[in-house]
Amino acid sequence: MKGLLTLIALCFALSAWSDVVYPVNNFKYISDLDYQEEVQNSDKYVVMIFSSKSCLERTIIDRSCFMFEKKLDYYVPSFSKNVKLVGFNTYFENYSVASQFNVRNVPSVIIIKNGQIIKRFETTYAPADINNGRFGWQDELLREVLSTIYQIY
């Protein structure tokens, strides 16, 4: 029994270092190495989403953790000709981009054009209030981001 528990613990430890598959289809997560080409050299507005692998690992317990990315992914085809979306995993990765933009919370969203920050969104984990049409911080963040995207193009 002790050997089985050790094996299970080892599997969980090794899976923490495995590649992450993010739950999105219409935008990709990039690294610090791709920042110059994908963001700085883009002629489009760029929406940068800073998330964390640790959040994804907790989705077994809390499925709302990546709900924002999943919902935003749904809307990407409606504006992808004019706006580019990229994600950054901030879990032991992408330190230079995250520190350059002083990212403190995940998910955080920063919209830039030609290297200039147009708008910055940081999460506020307010509780849901479904009686007043608020379904949680994911929906509020999504509404603010989408509103800004549709205004800029």
Out of 8-22, 104-118, 125-139, give the one with best mean pLDDT.
Answer: 104-118
pLDDT of residue 81 exceeding 80? yes
Residue in the structure block whose two tokens are 């981009």:
97
CB 102 within 8 A of CB 45: no
Q: Within the chain, where are the H helices?
A: 2-15, 32-35, 53-57, 67-75, 95-100, 137-152
Looking at the structure, give the CATH architecture of the domain made up of residues 21-152.
3-Layer(aba) Sandwich (3.40)
Domain boundaries, the chain: 21-152
Tokens of 45: 């507005």
What's the mean pLDDT in 26-51?
90
